[in-house]
Structure 1
């Protein structure tokens, strides 16, 4: 037996104070914080160095909003009694509240040294181990809890889940089987027992034991121990793989249960060895049978379009399109645009809808067979046909035809918001963000209560660089007592808003404000990761095991979300730019200086905000037992302009931290590896830089950005005062030789690359950037850059803007010439116009009376 340590004399309290200490613990657990504070002070009057009481007082103070004072007291209490499990437990709670999970777990481990069987500490430690993905010690912790309380169902289930997370599926299965043998008198329709059985069945499926899973499912389905009937049918379909006839029946039952679920059709066909990813006559025949048996179901008819060949496709898509146009389905184009990957299918769709347009037109005198099915065609059918064609032409980069169709539709029905949003989307793609914003605002005004239209208007205003106007639109639906609409949207974790406003600030030349928004995205993902902590205990208590396993897997790939990838890459580029050119910080600081008018407006807004806060304070007084520490009040923003964020002393270290998750979670994203290289090479992490270049080359060897980085890496190595020491030096030299042969001159290498990709605009721009890095004359650089205007170069608007940015950076005298050429090439674009004209267009895009007053302004 382990030796029990004697209780230190300074921890022992007299009877009266010991009773008060027990009462203190109860008051904290019931959140009676003020009473708890008074009780702790009573004890400390007589025993001012009682460590456990000092720790409890500190814990209460942290919950009352006095965090710094409380933390200091807790640390003092731990120092006074290093062998108290209560002190270490409280210290762990404090560290956990600060999201310092590693240190909190160390504190719990210390607490368990002095109280090995404390259930509360063991459960808290288990949650921390799960949060930190320490699955081996997690198994040991739950085994200890099970040994202490073997009659508690939660401990059996938690141990099984711990084995499962640790990859020991056989041990998880044994634990569940032992658990089920201990059950007695389980009531009917017990949800918790039902979830446990389904978890057991899914575990057997994961192990490949389909026959056993099926047997367990059938037994418990017949006895109605499993309550979720849909889950029974889905599991039966998956587990019947060895018995195709039974599986077909199971999937058919599911399809009849929900005939518009794509996954059920995929499951049915997959069971027969048929894939929906490749054309198949067998699959098409089966889907046609389902279409005839389930005439109201759209899913089989839509799936058939994916796998139909040319002739079959024409036969199937025609009734599908005409039905959608006749019913007036606004999302019809969004539904079928994925088929445009096949040029022949795209052409067939265009032919059918153009024919329908001619037939449905009010001016039509000889309707063809497409309209003959309905003698009296609804007037709206022609409208929705025009709407479809407008989206069709816009998607294919034909703004002229798209706008013609939209104008016809607007003449027909000018009050349909979808037409204005379609026109906005067309103008956006054509390079007119200001006109697009104006069109969406017109749509918004048709239905001022529609949040979607207001959100879309705000988004388009941000795309046009009108941040203040967008904020005013967002403010129509955000909290009125919030510091600003942006603050409320950030509190609501609106990733769309943060990304779009960050991009808008970046385009407007305000990297400090852009960085602030991008880092707010990172903060949201940190919060989502922290939020899972509570679910580790909650899901085990509620026995929602199947969804919990999905949650854990999803959290492991949390930062593969496109919003995080975008924000991390954009923020890292800003940090790299600041490292390369610190004058960006000075420019950002000077841009935040306000004019007199702006100062007055800011002062007025501050007074209004103070008035709102004063009115809020007049509300009901908080209860004496309210736990203010559980809902931490948002800290005051002491860096509203983002100057402190962009002025950090270690921009590269921060960029590396942002990009670190992408190395595993976005390994197929070449832009991520380019960004990793940019940071690593500047941090003198040459091996990491080589790894990034190799990974990028494996993904796309001829990528333009990789071409620029290869030349940059060769120049970086050559510029080193001495070769890197072994073992790094030889590895880097060998890798560089494989990436870019040493005997090949950089000028020759760049010329060969340009010759290979002379019709690819991005590659031409990359060659111009390399020429600049190699010190070529500006005339040569300009000549290469203007190669993007060749007839065989398919230049798009975003790349054209990148070229303009590059020409601006080298102070080219031919900048206006290039912009004029782009303006002529892109008929409906406005982004290449002179600065004075752009200011006029911005005013036109502004919402409100001021914009209307400028309506007659000419360029």
Structure 2
């Protein structure tokens, strides 16, 4: 110990106290630890390691800022102490600042190269940060120090695997297995090790060796997962083109006759696919029908046969399949066969079969032995979904009226009616129908969630919250806070969208960022598995977890939240005043709206009281939980007042450049951010990538011309940059074509597509065309052959408002006639009445339409 620096050396008494301090921290006796640290510092106030440990104890006692400052002071007092650097790394790790934590651990290892705890923590951080070359080195060091520990061998093999060196991973595993003695039968950890070894051999293409190891391990009971044995064996035999492969897949099908993947594996082994256009489709169909005969209770082969069959054969198979579902009352039948609608002839046959089944079941005697009493009802249910999916909303509603007259107490009918009305543009009517469904079963959480979702779609955020509160914790600050704590992505995205549509940008941004926080937490949660999975030898699942985490942010909820939030940030950059305006006026209503909302709130409270009486067990009564931290930005106003909106937007979009690179909206959003950050090369690349996906996209069309204007107004850039920009611009928009001509040609090509018409009008505004010309372009959507939907119609109305067009009301009236079932084009006074009706309890519904205010 003679080489210990004088400033770090402690007398025996204080040295023992310091060892005691370390033990007290590890056992979380924090108060005693703090007193012990103070005793040492009283005599040696400049002792860096004790200062750091005191700071670490304070951070765990809730005095975080004071503790962090002490740790920093301790590091400055002793820059060569591995304990100081280790503690500083722990502080960074606690703040999820993994890069800085790893730097601290590397510093600590400079002064104590064989410290097991630091090496283990460093390896976990390297895995978390995907620094696999460094991970291999760290795992090598750990294995050299403790070669007798089994998990160190496995950890090194995994490190090589993650780093792409499968050959070395295989060698490590073989060396490890050669040291094993007297492994008991049915040892789960050894079983997982052997499965991982087989996986490695398969990934290396050594299929014969993998199969041999699998068979030997299975016979010797070294591998205990029988399903995995069967699956891997069938897969390996197929890759080896063995005659036994067919039997292996058949065994799997018999093992689980409703697993689609097994049938696909069986067919693939025979060189067959589920493609109806394949020359061997008839052979595949024959095989599936044989399975249907051999396993009559299995639905998977009968459903897969529908994908391949065509013509009258398809009609015959579909009739048997659908009639069975109608008789059994299977609500998911439409969702099951919806994928067949891509084939127009099949779509027509589906309708004909369903209509025939309806006619047959309606005319059949109720005493008939082969017709179930509810067959007629479920046929109507299916037909309503069919017509709604094809945009025939009036027909769907007529059928639903028949079904509701037949059985008014079936929640599914009310739910489908709500979906039809929502698609037709009657959001309040849809919410009303879902509320009718919810009241049929107050204890059904699914119906409660659906009803709340439809209220959010209709912009009724407070009313939705009152419903969600029926199934959230009693002691939560609000239903929303509990759902956010539960990481409910459905709720967070839907409420954010509702606030966004209502113009409450602060609350919308707050919820979108809450979605981002959920994904941050999921990324952080994997940290504990880096050690746990290796200890428990769950290697295959662990590798699958890492691969899943790598593509985590490709999740639709994140993509949607990131795009929507980035658009708000871009709008804030363009006009910082909208943040203040949205915070000040967001949610303000007219006097009539306030009156209606007050009535609606009372009705919602009554609903809540009635439902609570009916569902006394609905709430969870969790005690002893930590209090929820106070929300310092309840309305999102601080987010709206941020000084770096473009940087925040760029950070949100960055993962999508690789994880959602085929989504054109991502590249357009990246362009919007890059061009405002004056990163013109990055902006041009984003546009070029978008053009590769869909060169005729309306949003891309607007930005191509916008970018030409931006580039032409720039001062002379450096020669290299200028050359690259010029090359990209030539590909996006040829120099010899004038902007007006390019826009006119685009409009001619897409004269029957409403989003393209709107894009051309927006470009005309940028080119400073007369307002009358812009209006003339916009009103071409009233032509009978133009494809128009409600979303685009609303966007066009908003656009007319931005250019202060006096013809906006004229178009609103036309849209009301074009979409007669929609309510979104009605005057504000009517919408207030519809909003109130949407949350009125069923027993409070006025008897006559005239009674509606």
Aligned match for 2:54, one of 49, 53, 57: 57
Question: Deviations 1:828-855 (Å, cap 9, x if unpaired)?
Answer: 1111112221122111112449974697
Q: Which residue of 2 aligns with 1:490?
A: 484
Contact 1:83 1:114 in 2 (8 A): yes
Equivalent of 2:736 in 740, 743, 748: 743
Cα RMSD for the two superposed structures: 2.1
How many angstroms does 1:582 deviate by? 2.1
Deviation at 1:311? Answer: 2.2
Q: Which residue of 1 aligns with 2:434?
A: 440
Aligned mate of 1:841, from 831, 834, 838: 834
2:813–2:825: 8 Å Cα contact kept in structure 1?
yes
Cα deviation, 1:112-169, whole Å, max 9, x if unaligned, reads 1111000000000000000111000100000000011111100000000000000001
Find out whether 1:151 has 2:157 as its counterpart.
no
Q: Distance in 1 between matches of 2:159 and 2:251?
A: 35
1:566-645 alignment to 2 at 5 Å?
566-591=560-585, 634-645=628-639
How do 1:129-528 residues align onto structure 2 when only pairs under 5 Å count?
129-241=126-238, 242-279=240-277, 280-361=281-362, 364=363, 375-528=369-522
Instruction: Report how far residue 526 of structure 1 moved.
Output: 0.8
> Does structure 2 conserve the Cα–Cα contact (< 8 Å) formed by 1:43 and 1:53?
yes
**Is the CA contact (8 Å cut-off) linking 2:502 and 2:587 kept in structure 1?**
no
Residue in 1 aligned with 2:80? 83
The count of residues paired between Structure 1 and Structure 2 equals 821
For 1:554 and 1:570, locate their aligned partners in 2 and report how far apart those are by CA, in whole Å: 24
Decide which of 716, 719, 723 is 1:726's aligned counterpart.
Answer: 719
Match of 1:546 among 529, 540, 543: 540
1:565 alignment partner, one of 559, 573, 587: 559
1:616-670 per-residue CA deviation (whole Å, 9 max, x = no partner) reads: xxx99x9xxxxxxxx9865421111111101111111111111111111111000
Q: 1: CA distance between counterparts of 2:846 and 2:491?
A: 29
- Which consecutive aligned stretches of 4+ in structure 1 deviate over 3 angstroms post-superposition? 592-598, 631-635, 847-859
Residue 814 of structure 2: aligned partner: 821
Provide the rounded CA distance (Å) in 1 between the counterparts of 2:484 and 2:850: 38
| Distance (whole Å) between structure 2 residues aligned to residue 174 and residue 80 of structure 1 | 46
Whether 1:767 and 2:760 are equivalent positions in the alignment is yes
Q: What's the CA shift for 1:277?
A: 3.5
- For residues 308 and 671 of structure 1, the distance between their equivalents in structure 2, rounded to whole angstroms, comes to 36
Please give the secondary structure, in 1, of the residue aligned with 2:711.
Answer: helix
- Does the CA-based 8 Å contact 1:844-1:851 persist in structure 2? no
CA distance in structure 2 between the aligned counterparts of 1:503 and 1:826, rounded to whole angstroms: 23
Question: What is the CA distance between 1:378 and its match in structure 2?
Answer: 2.1
2:102 alignment counterpart: 105
Q: 1:612 matched to which residue of 2?
A: none
Structure-2 separation of matches of 1:84 and 1:488:
44
- Normalised to the residue count of structure 2, the TM-score between the two structures is 0.94
Kindly state the Cα deviation for residue 57 of structure 1 after the two structures are TM-superposed.
1.3
Question: 1:690 aligned to 670, 675, 684, which one?
Answer: 684
Q: CA, structure 1 residues 149+106, in 2 after alignment: closer, same or farther (shift >3 Å)?
A: same
Assess if the C-alpha contact under 8 Å between 1:518 and 1:570 holds in 2: yes
Question: Could you tell me how far apart the structure 1 residues matched to 2:308 and 2:698 are?
Answer: 35
1: CA distance, partners of 2:388 / 2:701: 33
* Range that drifts further, 11-20 or 482-491: 11-20
2:6 match: 9
Question: Where does residue 807 of structure 1 map in the other structure?
Answer: 800
Find the aligned partners of 2:388 and 2:804 in 1 and give their Cα distance: 35
Tell me the SS of whatever aligns to 1:828: coil
Deviation at 1:254, TM superposition (A): 0.9
Deviations 1:773-821 (A, max 9, x none): 1111111111111111211111111111111111111111111111111
**CA separation in 1, counterparts of 2:695 and 2:559?**
22
The CA distance in 2 between the partners of 1:594 and 1:574, in whole Å, is: 20
Query: For the residues of structure 2 that align with 1:634 and 1:461, how far apart are their CA atoms?
Result: 27
Residue 416 (structure 1) shift:
0.6
Between the aligned partners of 2:316 and 2:835, the Cα distance in structure 1 is 48
TM-score of the superposed pair, with normalisation by structure 1: 0.93
Once the two structures are overlaid, the 10-residue window that deviates more, 189-198 or 78-87, is 78-87
How far off is 1:48 after superposition? 2.0
What is the deviation of 1:46? 2.2
Q: Distance in 2 between matches of 1:789 and 1:357?
A: 37
Does the CA contact (< 8 Å) of 1:56 and 1:74 recur in 2?
A: yes
Whether the 8 Å CA contact 1:92–1:105 is kept in 2: the answer is: yes
Is the Cα contact below 8 Å between 1:198 and 1:226 reproduced in 2?
Answer: yes
CA distance in 2 between counterparts of 1:119 and 1:343 reads 65
Instruction: Provide the rounded CA distance (Å) in 2 between the counterparts of 1:300 and 1:782.
Output: 56
Whole-angstrom distance in 2 between the partners of 1:736 and 1:382: 61
Q: 1:703 aligns with which of 689, 697, 712?
A: 697
Distance 1:775 1:851, change over 3 A: farther
Relative to 1, partners in 2 of residues 1:10 and 1:712: Cα closer, same or farther, differing over 3 Å? same
Quick check: 637-646 or 139-148, which moved more?
637-646
Moved more, 59-68 or 633-642: 633-642
CA positional deviation for 1:589 = 2.9
Aligned partner of 1:791 in structure 2 is 784
Contact 2:493/2:511, CA 8 A, preserved across alignment: yes
1:709-720 equivalence runs, <5 A = 709-720=703-714
Q: Is the 8 A contact 1:44 1:50 kept in 2?
A: yes
Q: Is the 8 A contact 1:843 1:851 kept in 2?
A: no
The separation in 2 between residues aligned to 1:850 and 1:109, in whole angstroms, is 69
Determine if contact 1:91/1:104 at 8 Å carries over to the other structure.
yes
Aligned pair in 2 of structure 1 residues 787, 152: CA closer, same or farther (>3 Å)?
same
The 2-side partners of 1:76 and 1:583 are apart by 43
- Cα distance change on mapping 1:775 and 1:83 into 2, 3 Å: same
Q: Secondary structure at the match of 2:330?
A: coil
Partner of 2:527: 533
Contact in 2 for aligned 1:244/1:271 (Cα 8 Å) = no
Deviations 1:509-548 (A, max 9, x none): 1111111111111111111111111111111111100011
Secondary structure at 2:272 match in 1: coil
Deviation at 1:376, TM superposition (A): 4.6
Cα-to-partner distance string for 1:547-590 (whole Å, 9 max, x where unaligned): 11111111111111111110111011111111112221231232
Aligned match for 1:652, one of 631, 646, 657: 646
Runs of 5+ in structure 1 lacking a partner?
Answer: 602-618, 623-630
* 3-state SS of paired residue (1:9): coil
How far the C-alpha of 1:726 sits from its partner, in A, is: 2.1
Matched residue, 1:46: 43
The answer as to 2:114 corresponding to 1:117 is yes
Q: Tell me what 2:615 maps to.
A: none
- C-alpha deviation, 1:243, in angstroms: 3.9
